[in-house]
Amino acid sequence: VQADLPVLREIYRSAVHSAGPAAYTPAQVRAWSGFARDAAFAGFVLDVQTYVAERSGSVVGFCGIAEDGHIAALYVDGGRIGQGIGSALLRHALAAHPRPATGRYYAEASRLSLPLFERCGFRRVGSELVERDGETFERLLVEMPAGQ
């Protein structure tokens, strides 16, 4: 995945720019997508197990999952949103990690990904506020016991 880093940065940026405006302000979209250029983006992808989806030989999405069951990332190229790729990626990552160390899966969903997580069996357990580049974001905490 190391070699795919530039591609994954572009997918992240494109995903946020395409899907973001439906639920976030222009300033929030800029702050969120700016993380694609951040030095910490490499760790965001490489510190967990990251799976990529390919269509016709090109990477079009990625999902990161940690050993403890944390879904660290779920991003689909802007031009490919709404084609079932995000759901397929999440299901693949869950199936590849049948026994997370904490006995559950959990994620900080966006307003955009909440329906997808719920369709995959996650339920909402709370929310939190995070700040990025002066913009505040509400993240929706979701979880699901493993072995469902």
Ligand X SMILES: CC(C)(COP(=O)(O)OP(=O)(O)OC[C@H]1O[C@@H](n2cnc3c(N)ncnc32)[C@H](O)[C@@H]1OP(=O)(O)O)[C@@H](O)C(=O)NCCC(=O)NCCS
Nearer to ligand X, 1 or 139 (CB): 139
Q: How many CA atoms lie within 13 A of 101 on its CB side?
A: 6
Residue nearest to ligand X according to CB distances in the complex: 86
> Which residues lie near ligand X (CB under 6 A)?
15-16, 19, 74-76, 81-87, 107, 109-110, 112-113, 115-116
| Spatial separation of the C-alpha atoms in residues 3 and 78, rounded to whole Å | 21
Closest distance of CB 103 from ligand X, Å: 21
Pairing of strands 70-76, 135-145: unpaired
Within 10 angstroms of residue 112's Cβ, the number of other Cβ atoms is: 18
Nearer to ligand X, 102 or 118 (CB): 118
Closest distance of CB 57 from ligand X, Å: 18
The residue length of the chain stands at 148
